[in-house]
């Protein structure tokens, strides 16, 4: 079953790549593929849960290893080809070094250490759920979206079959990544995701897209290099090639901190933490499904997935300090930067970086409450953020803009999409919804581990997060009188994805206690080898439930509180000079003047010009110093 | 448990009366400081009564819904607090209420109201760190987030949390809409953008906002009391004194300082939070 | 309880010489302290019960006065403060002046004077307050009939 999940998406990718002609056949093919993946994924998850939720496979896989080596060389050739074509030689160099290293390890036979290549536990299942279900929803959505995208942007070449096949290849790589236990296998899939994202970002072929895709490539290859060195070190010095063993040893042997910190470094690059945040922002030039796939469900989640796997080995050492400091700092800095952005996708990108920072910080703390919070953050973030990305794309197709300013009064113009967007935003930060529960747990864990700095980062970061989300939210609900309802050109396939995701956002909030007690707590018990008590008490769950109900019954409460009084609708107050339509006023010369309301962006405080560079420098310095300290200390 | 229920019911029924009375006293004291006679102590209740009796006018159909959200969640967070639940959740619920209020005035889509909403949002961003830090301070002092556990500790929390207490009183100025920080809307006539946040609300809807703010006052002063109580009678007396002193201190501040620009507010409050709260937190963690 | 215990005012300056405006503000100052009666200067028609207008009406401010009046919720009372607001006063013959406030909206109380003395303004406001109760009763009756 595992094999099927990994291989089948690649097969789909191949089929779609060959099926150049767009049309009904391709659409049906795509729907079927997505359906098969989702069904297989769910079947696999349910059966594994019934059989105990844990499994290991394949102690010996000589043939597959060789095949992977070939695959790696193919990737190397691909990267070299693009690097030379666009004269970005550093990418080729990075790629050659790491592939060379891995090839040497493999061929010299040093890496042939006994251990299970595939490892499945409850965390893997959660990730499989996210990747399978959300990933497929994004693929479904992209069918309708890309049609509009290509008719909007006729200047770009229509390479949709390539695009779709890359999406499926990406899913396959993600499945591979989460199921692998052998570091070399993991590394192989890790590289595939890097290359796929590079190709997806460069989809447009415009100069900006190409530059940004190379930015993504070199940053991820740098992380890959860290990964390769970590493998080499752990194989040569510790004689370990499996992730689980490394984590086990990492808690006991001091020298293991070196591979751990290198892997953590790779995780940080993949999850776009502060000095490497550039690639994720640059990736916004790509079509929306790419952004949704890369930034919510998969690519960046691979980074934090690795970090959370490493969590026990990060507890209370310098490697952990590095991860928490960078993560916490990123959480604060990115949320501040998000304030100054008006482009909807950029806000989402910064908010993603910021949330990933929080997850990384949770992993770095290494206490089980923190990891609990981190896993929940991953789940809630994946659902709400992909919903928001997809919705922004749908709004952009109907509205012609993805600027938050243009979404002013969306509730009148596109009520359906606006409502879904409100759910998504609420899911990202509002009280009874998921993110907040995790924030609560994270805060508790940070205090329990005496991380004062992290607490400070978290409280300020929460405040700035509150600001930029509420700003967006209040733009949406502004009732702009006399504005016409726009024609909603959202396709059926897009609606399917949007509605499913919003239902999932709400359902996840309602069912999180079950998820916690059935999936996450048993997993934590295995991971930390200690008794795990419920992180969040029943009382608090009850309160959350009550809040959710309170929101739902609010419209009824209104009738009661206003005593059923009839309201008279009047004009808004503009110093008595409202021209009568709430949209313009009479100025001092007696002329009609349009009123324009905008949000606050505080450019001179939180602008990219002001904040980005210092944050990058600070975080780079922190990263380098802590890595040197850790590695030097261990040697 | 019975005291908790009694307190909660007391809060729901008496909350607005206490809040209104405090506001009336505030207005009298304020007038006396300015050498005026001032309105009767019961004036806020007259105001509310009048507002409920006025014609109800709105600029759109979702304003009232959102204002009710504000009221419901303020009361909800107050109930959580007096039931002795998790203090962090109390603050989260209070923030949710705040967001409803901001959305309500942003939905009016009028210049003054939207400006008020944006400023209110800046205010929320300004006090949020200190609010969370207060909850964290209590957690470290009492080893629990639960209000009933915090209230039962032997040593009053203020002993451990002097810096956090000061920081909390500092942000109380923002929360009570008192002078240097009454940017989004003000109780006084000298507001430069009409009524800011509440410009487009009137009649019974405005009355609901007022009632909600009274509830909020009681809740926030309850948190002040939490710094002092320790389960004994003198703890309660101390709490009462602390509440009254800090409330009238806010009135005093209101009369002494002129309104500041928003960035002065953000800067000073964040600095104060970091210095008073942060240092307090750091020391707490060290001696823990 | 009477609703007249809490009269909130909005003050609008038509084409006045500012004399009456200063007196209006004066009556809110510590010496006269209108707040004794619960009067608050809201500056917002949507909160106000009493509309204090000073100065005459000209072509430009007529729609403004009318709009502010229309934005006030019932029950509401209009007080014209100063002789200019009552009938145009010294500016009556000017080419741009239409006359007193009653040229634009129905006025309930006229407070003469140039400038109107604070005592007179307070007196006018108190009369307006009494009227508020009456209008409230009428409103209730109307609501019942409907």
Residues A566-581 have pLDDT tens digits of 677 788 888 778 887 7
Say if CB A398 and CB A489 are below 8 A apart: yes
Q: Do B109 and A479 touch (CB under 8 A)?
A: yes
pLDDT at residue B285, rounded to an integer: 87
Distance between A422 CA and the closest CA of chain C, angstroms: 29
pLDDT computed for residue B172 by the predictor: 92
Q: Do C67 and A571 touch (CB under 8 A)?
A: yes
Question: Which residues in chain B have Cβ-Cβ distances shorter than 8 Å to A475?
Answer: 106
Calculate Rg over the CA atoms of chain A: 25
Q: What is the pLDDT of residue A562?
A: 60
Residues A541-553 have pLDDT tens digits of: 777 777 777 777 7
Mean pLDDT of chain A: 83
**Whole-number percent of chain B with pLDDT over 70:** 99
Measured between beta carbons, the chain A residues lying within 8 angstroms of C12 are 576
Contact B152, B231 (CB under 8 A): yes
- Over residues A6-34, the mean pLDDT reads 80
Q: Helix A183-201 and helix A89-107: axis angle, to 10°? A: 160
Q: Does a cis peptide bond (omega within 30 degrees of 0) precede residue C75?
A: yes
pLDDT digits (tens, 9 = 90+) for C60-90: 888 889 989 988 888 889 999 989 888 888 8
Say how many Å lie between the first and final Cα of chain B, rounded.
30
* CB within 8 Å: B64 and A567: yes
Angle in degrees, CA B265, B269, B275, rounded to 5: 150
Q: Does the pLDDT at position A461 exceed 60? A: yes
Reduced to 3 states, what is the DSSP secondary structure of residue C46? coil
Q: What is the pairing mode between strands A592-594 and C8-13?
A: unpaired
Domain ranges (residues) in chain B: 2-287
Other beta carbons within 10 angstroms of residue B163's beta carbon come to 22
* Position A530 pLDDT exceeds 80: no
Q: Which pLDDT score, from 0 to 100, does residue A560 have? A: 67
Q: Does residue A563 surpass a pLDDT of 70? A: no
- Model confidence at B173, in pLDDT bands (50, 70, 90)? very high
Q: Read off the pLDDT band of A170 (50, 70, 90).
A: confident
pLDDT at position A91:
81
- The band of B22, judged by pLDDT with boundaries at 50, 70 and 90, is very high
A60-86 pLDDT tens trace? 667 777 888 888 888 888 888 888 888
Taking phi over 0 as left and psi of -120 to 50 as alpha, with beta for the rest, A482 belongs to: left
pLDDT digits over C16-67, tens only? 888 888 998 888 888 888 888 888 888 888 888 899 999 889 888 888 899 8
* Chain A neighbors of B145, CB-CB under 8 A: 444
Contacts of residue C60 in chain A, CB cutoff 8 Å?
A: 590
pLDDT tops 70 at residue C146: no
Residue A494, SS3 per DSSP: helix
pLDDT band at B123 (very low <50, low <70, confident <90, very high): very high
Query: Would you call B288 and A551 a contact, using CB atoms and an 8 Å cutoff?
Result: no
Tally A–C CB contacts below 8 A: 25
Each residue's pLDDT tens digit, B258-270: 888 888 999 999 9
Chain A residues 547-576 with a CB less than 8 Å from chain B: 547, 550-551, 554-555, 557-558, 561-563, 565-574
- Is a pLDDT exceeding 80 seen at residue A10? yes
In this predicted structure, what is the pLDDT of residue B245?
93
Distance CA B112, CA A473 (A): 18
Residue C1, pLDDT score:
65
pLDDT at A561 over 70: no
Report how far residue A292's alpha carbon sits from residue C7's, in angstroms, rounded to the nearest whole number.
Answer: 56
Render pLDDT for A266-282 as a digit per residue (tens, 0 to 9).
999 988 888 888 888 88
Cα gap C120→A144, rounded to integer Å: 73
| Tokens 């879904």 found at | A420
- Among A422, A572, A593, most B C-beta atoms within 10 A, so best to mutate, is A572
What total of structural domains would you count in chain C?
1
Distance from CA of B32 to the nearest CA of A (A): 33
Chain A residue with Cα closest to C46: A573
pLDDT at B10 over 90: no
Q: Do B109 and A572 touch (CB under 8 A)?
A: yes
User: What residues of chain B lie within 8 A of the CB of C43, using their CB?
Assistant: 189, 191, 194-195
Across residues B34-43, what is the average pLDDT?
88
Higher-confidence residue: A149 or A465?
A: A465
| Chain B residue numbers touching C44 (CB-CB < 8 A) | 194-195, 199
* E strand or H helix that includes residue A236: none
> Where along chain A do its domains lie?
2-561+616-634
A570 touches chain C (CB under 8 A): yes
ipTM: 0.93
- Closest A-chain CA to C64: A576
Average pLDDT of the segment spanning A583-588: 83
Query: For A315-367, where are the alpha helices, taking DSSP H only?
Result: 318-339, 344-365
Judged against a pLDDT cut of 80, whether residue A214 lies above it is answered with yes
- Return the pLDDT at B25: 92
> Per-residue pLDDT tens for B192-228?
787 888 888 888 888 999 999 999 999 999 999 999 9
pLDDT the model gives residue A558 = 67
CATH number of the domain at C55, please. 3.40.50.12280
pLDDT digits 0-9 by tens, A113-141: 777 788 888 888 888 888 888 888 888 88
Average pLDDT over residues A482-486: 72
**Alpha carbon A59 to chain centroid distance?**
32
Q: Two tokens at A507?
A: 């359902």
First to last CA, chain C: 24
**Contacts of C109-112 spanning 24+ positions with Cβ under 8 A:** C109/C77, C109/C78, C109/C79, C109/C80, C110/C79, C110/C80, C110/C85, C110/C86, C111/C79, C111/C80, C111/C81, C111/C82, C111/C85, C111/C86, C112/C82, C112/C83, C112/C86
Q: What average pLDDT does range A361-385 have in this prediction?
A: 87
SS3 A602: coil
What mean pLDDT is predicted for residues A12-41?
81
User: What Å distances lie between residue B266 and B9, B177, C122, CA to CA?
Assistant: 37, 15, 41
When pLDDT is cut at 50, 70 and 90, the band that residue B190 belongs to is low
Please state whether beta strands A584-586 and C77-81 pair in parallel, antiparallel, or not at all (unpaired).
unpaired
Position B170 scores a pLDDT of: 92
What is the model's pLDDT at position B243?
93
> pLDDT value at position A157?
73
Per-residue pLDDT for C14 more than 60? yes
pTM summary value = 0.91
pLDDT of A564 above 60: no
Token pair 């006030």 is at which residue?
C72
Average pLDDT estimate for A246-263: 83
Interval A49-59 mean pLDDT: 74
> What does the pLDDT read at residue B274?
92
pLDDT tens, residue by residue, A602-633 = 888 888 888 888 888 988 998 889 888 888 88
State residue B134's pLDDT score: 93
Q: Is the pLDDT of residue A559 over 70?
A: no
Q: Do A436 and B72 touch (CB under 8 A)?
A: no
């Amino acid at each position: 079953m595992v094999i099927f999940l990994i291989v089948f998406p690649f097969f789909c990718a191949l089929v779609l790549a060959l099926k150049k002609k767009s049309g009904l056949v391709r659409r049906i093919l795509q729907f079927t593929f997505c359906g098969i993946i989702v069904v297989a994924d769910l079947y696999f998850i349910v059966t594994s849960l019934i059989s105990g939720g844990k499994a290991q496979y394949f102690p010996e896989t000589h043939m597959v290893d060789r095949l992977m080596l070939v695959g790696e060389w193919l990737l190397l050739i691909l990267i070299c080809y693009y690097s030379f074509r666009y004269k970005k030689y550093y990418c080729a160099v990075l790629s050659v070094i790491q592939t060379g290293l891995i090839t040497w390890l493999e061929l010299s036979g040093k890496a042939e250490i006994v251990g299970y290549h595939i490892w499945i536990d409850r965390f893997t299942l959660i990730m499989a759920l996210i990747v399978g279900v959300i990933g497929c929803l994004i693929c479904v959505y992209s069918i309708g979206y890309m049609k509009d995208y290509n008719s909007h942007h006729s200047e770009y070449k229509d390479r949709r079959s390539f695009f779709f096949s890359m999406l499926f290849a990406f899913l396959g790589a993600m499945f591979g990544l989460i199921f692998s236990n052998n570091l070399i296998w993991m590394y192989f899939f890790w590289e595939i995701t890097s290359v796929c994202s590079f190709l997806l970002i460069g989809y447009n072929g415009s100069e900006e897209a190409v530059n940004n895709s190379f930015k993504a490539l070199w940053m991820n290859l740098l992380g890959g290099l860290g990964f390769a060195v970590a493998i080499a070190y752990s194989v040569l010095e510790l004689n370990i090639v499996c992730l689980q063993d490394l984590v086990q040893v990492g808690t006991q042997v001091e020298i293991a901190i070196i591979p751990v910190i290198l892997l953590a470094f790779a995780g940080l690059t993949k999850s776009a933490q502060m000095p490497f945040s550039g690639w994720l922002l640059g990736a916004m030039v790509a079509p929306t499904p790419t952004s949704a796939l890369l930034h919510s469900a998969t690519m960046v989640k691979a980074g934090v997935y690795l970090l959370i796997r490493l969590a026990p080995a990060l507890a209370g050492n310098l490697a952990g300090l590095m991860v928490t400091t960078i993560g916490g700092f990123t959480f604060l800095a990115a949320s501040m930067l998000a304030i100054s952005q008006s482009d909807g996708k950029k806000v989402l990108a910064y908010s993603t970086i910021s949330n990933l920072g929080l997850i990384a910080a949770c992993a770095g703390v290494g206490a089980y409450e923190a990891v609990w919070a981190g896993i929940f953050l991953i789940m809630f973030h994946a659902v709400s953020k992909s919903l928001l990305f997809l919705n922004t794309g749908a709004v952009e197709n109907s509205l012609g803009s993805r600027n938050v300013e243009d979404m002013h009064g969306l509730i009148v113009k596109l009520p359906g999409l606006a409502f879904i967007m409100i759910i998504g935003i609420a899911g990202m930060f509002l009280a009874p919804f998921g993110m907040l529960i995790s924030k609560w747990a994270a805060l508790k864990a940070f205090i329990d581990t005496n991380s004062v700095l992290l607490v400070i980062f978290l409280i300020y970061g929460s405040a700035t997060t509150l600001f930029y989300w509420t700003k967006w939210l209040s733009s949406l609900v502004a009732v702009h009188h006399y504005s016409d309802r726009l024609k909603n050109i959202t396709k059926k396939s897009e609606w399917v994805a949007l509605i499913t995701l919003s239902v999932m956002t709400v359902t996840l909030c309602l069912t999180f206690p079950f998820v916690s007690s059935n999936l996450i707590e048993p997993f934590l018990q295995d991971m930390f080898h200690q008794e795990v008590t419920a992180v969040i008490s029943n009382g608090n769950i009850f309160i959350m439930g009550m809040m959710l109900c309170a929101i739902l019954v609010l419209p009824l409460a209104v009738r009661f509180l206003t005593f059923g009084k009839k309201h008279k609708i009047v004009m808004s107050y503009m110093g008595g000079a409202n021209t009568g339509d709430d949209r313009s006023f009479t100025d001092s010369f007696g002329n009609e003047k349009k009123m324009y309301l905008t949000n606050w962006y505080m450019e001179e405080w939180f602008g990219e010009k002001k904040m980005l560079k210092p944050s990058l420098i600070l975080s780079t310095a922190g990263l380098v110093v802590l890595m040197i300290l850790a590695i030097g200390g261990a040697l | 448990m019975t005291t908790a229920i009694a307190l909660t019911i007391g809060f729901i029924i008496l909350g607005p009366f206490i809040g209104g009375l405090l506001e009336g006293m505030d207005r009298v004291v304020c007038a006396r400081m300015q050498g005026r006679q001032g309105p009767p102590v019961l004036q806020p209740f007259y105001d509310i009564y009048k507002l409920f009796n006025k014609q109800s006018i709105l600029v759109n159909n979702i304003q009232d819904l959102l204002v009710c959200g504000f009221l419901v969640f303020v009361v909800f967070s107050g109930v959580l607090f007096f039931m002795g639940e998790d203090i962090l959740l109390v603050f989260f619920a209070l923030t949710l209420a705040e967001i409803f209020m901001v959305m309500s005035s942003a939905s009016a889509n009028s210049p003054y109201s939207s400006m008020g909403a944006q400023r209110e949002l800046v205010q929320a961003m300004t006090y949020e760190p200190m609010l969370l830090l207060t909850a964290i301070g209590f957690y470290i002092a009492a080893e629990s987030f639960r209000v009933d556990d915090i209230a039962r500790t032997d040593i009053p929390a203020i002993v451990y949390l002097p810096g956090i207490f000061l920081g909390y009183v500092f942000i109380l100025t923002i929360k009570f809409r008192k002078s240097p920080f009454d940017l989004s809307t003000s109780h006084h006539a000298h507001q430069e953008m009409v009524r800011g946040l509440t410009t487009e609300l009137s009649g019974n809807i405005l009355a609901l906002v007022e009632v909600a703010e009274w509830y909020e006052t009681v809740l926030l002063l309850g948190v002040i009391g939490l710094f002092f109580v320790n389960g004994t009678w003198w703890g309660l007396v101390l709490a009462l004194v602390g509440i009254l002193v800090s409330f009238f201190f806010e009135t005093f501040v209101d009369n002494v300082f002129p309104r500041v620009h928003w960035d002065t507010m953000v800067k000073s409050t964040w600095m104060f939070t970091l210095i008073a709260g942060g240092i307090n937190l750091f020391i707490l963690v060290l001696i823990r | 309880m009477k609703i007249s215990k809490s009269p909130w005012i909005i003050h609008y300056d038509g084409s006045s010489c500012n004399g009456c405006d200063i007196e209006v503000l004066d009556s809110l100052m510590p010496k006269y302290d209108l707040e004794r009666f619960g009067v608050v200067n809201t500056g917002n028609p949507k909160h106000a019960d009493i509309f204090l207008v000073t100065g005459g009406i000209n072509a430009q401010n007529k729609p403004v006065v009318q709009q502010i009046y229309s934005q006030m919720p019932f029950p509401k009372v209009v007080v014209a403060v100063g002789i200019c607001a009552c009938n145009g006063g010294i500016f009556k013959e000017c080419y741009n002046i239409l006359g007193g406030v009653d040229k634009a909206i129905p006025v309930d109380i006229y407070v003469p004077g140039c400038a109107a003395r604070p005592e007179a303004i307070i007196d006018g406001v108190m009369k307006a307050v009494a009227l508020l109760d009456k209008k409230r009763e009428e409103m209730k009756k109307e609501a019942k009939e409907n």
